[in-house]
Chains A and B, each alone.
Chain A
Amino acid sequence: MIKVQKVSKWYGLVVGVNRISLELEPGVTGLLGVNGAGKSTLLNLMAGLLKPSSGSVSLDGEKIFANPDALRKVGYCPSPDSLYDDLTGVEFLIFMGRLSGMTRKAALEAADRALESVAMGEEARKRIRSMSKGMRQKVKMAQAVIHDPEVILLDEPLNGMDPPSRAQTIKAIRKWGEEGRCVLVSSHLLHEVESMTSRIVLVHHGKLLASGEVPQVRKAISSRPMRIFIRVADGRRLAVELVAWTSVHSVSFGKDAGSLTVEVTDAADFREKLTLLLAERETGIEILNPLDDNLSAVFSYLVA
């Protein structure tokens, strides 16, 4: 599988990525970060287009940079809207297929399959120049999978797509992940990533801030108590009990006495005690909802 080991990339004095290590597992992984965080640099390194200043990027033990044997297993959809505009979508895909060693006939068949996987039909016979942004995105994605790669790297693949196309593309990405391919999708739009996967890699200022499943990552952020919303019939009574627990940092009331927001420092201990409490007596809890056990909260805590 694809392995990034202590990779740094400098552009003169500017650091693109800084000592990043990660291993991509089968399935979909979201690559998150604000603009300029180093997402594209990391993807370019993994696609064999950039040479690491230090460290290494390898696929099944082989260095990726300018290595045809490794590149055979990688499909990359770049973020910039640059394509061979004078070709039709199908011609472009056939060209890419042939560059991957397929005959013209095999490339045509593979192009049809790739286009089908991104839900693109007859529009692909148009010149790329005359395609909408969304269609061009789909062509870029189709070229990334035309040679049936094990690793698929997608840089902001949903940019410029309309809602139906987004939904189709998300479905396609999830399917590739379910097929056992390693799919890394970069985005700065959290809801997009959330709709594809719960596994994330978060980069900021060129550094790897966190990686793993979102709830695990959230748990690891010990500096920020987890916030849990509770709607209960008798808020005051429950609040008195909760503040006595060592795992509870604070309890605050909402608009009415039945709405509580609890800040928890040890989620496991809190869960255990709450379970015991629920077993002991009728608490009247109507809603129990973690407020920041999601990607958006994780992202803001780590990046802010």
Chain B
Amino acid sequence: MKDWRYWLAEQRSALLAVGIFIFMFIIYVSNHQAGFSANVVQTSANKGVLLALVAMAQTLVVITAGIDLSAGMIFVLTNCLASWLVVGTAAETAFGVAVVLGTGLLCGAINGAIVIVGRMQPIVATIATGAVYFGLALLLRPFPGGSVNEDLADALTGRLFGVVPTSLVALVAVVLIIWVPFRRSVTGRAAYAAGSSEIAAYMSGMPIKRAKFVAYTLSGLLAAIGGLFLTFFTYTGEAAYASGNAYTLFSIAAVVLGGVSLFGGRGSAIGAIFGAFAFRTIGDLLFVFDFDPLWQPLFQGVVLLFAVSLVAFGLFRVRNRLEWFG
């Protein structure tokens, strides 16, 4: 019985995100003209999954007390790449998918190497690499276009047994294949430890550098999976600067809503996924209430501002003002 309470305490912020999401989603579907239909769920799922994947990517880095401002750009770059490569026969498609995912891994690894080996601040380093990744995306797709293996795309964005959105199933698979092993590995634990107290982690002899590098690399991979799905949804590739920036921004909002601490060491990708879905639903709520969609960016911005301000609550516990300065 007691174990259950500790589990609850640990997952409290993630569960809060689940709660917000369910609450918002109920309001959303009950006001939607179409109601709770498989179609509505499928559309919501597909939009949510994209942000959820980028938010997972962000989570991995944030846990180590870093930040990845290039996540949205990796997402855009892999989208453009996929619009060239994920076409043709099954073998060609598979090869394309592999190259796209490999590119994501490489982008993440470059970020990690610059931050860890180059000892550069993650913010500036990832802004700079983000510019490079966006530039590459623009080289690949100066104009929107391209195509994708539509069979695969439809299979992954449709419904399983006519009810369950396939994209959700894919998301669960990603969680099981990437997140769970990471969370349970020594490396994953070292990533948490490095974010929580790097000195204590060092004193305990944990593999901090390796953990950070793996976190950045997997983050690139997750963003690439997101880019792949974007291609499946849109059938095209587009080097959209605004969209890349928005995904980076929203991924931070989703991570905060999902209970991941921006100071590192706390939170899970599961929380971030629900944070992403909650954030998406909040944005869509305006839509069902017939607000002008023009208000959506402002509304999302205010939610983001509010979410990051929550960070400040810990401040009231500080008894020694010198702790402000780290």
A and B together in one complex:
no
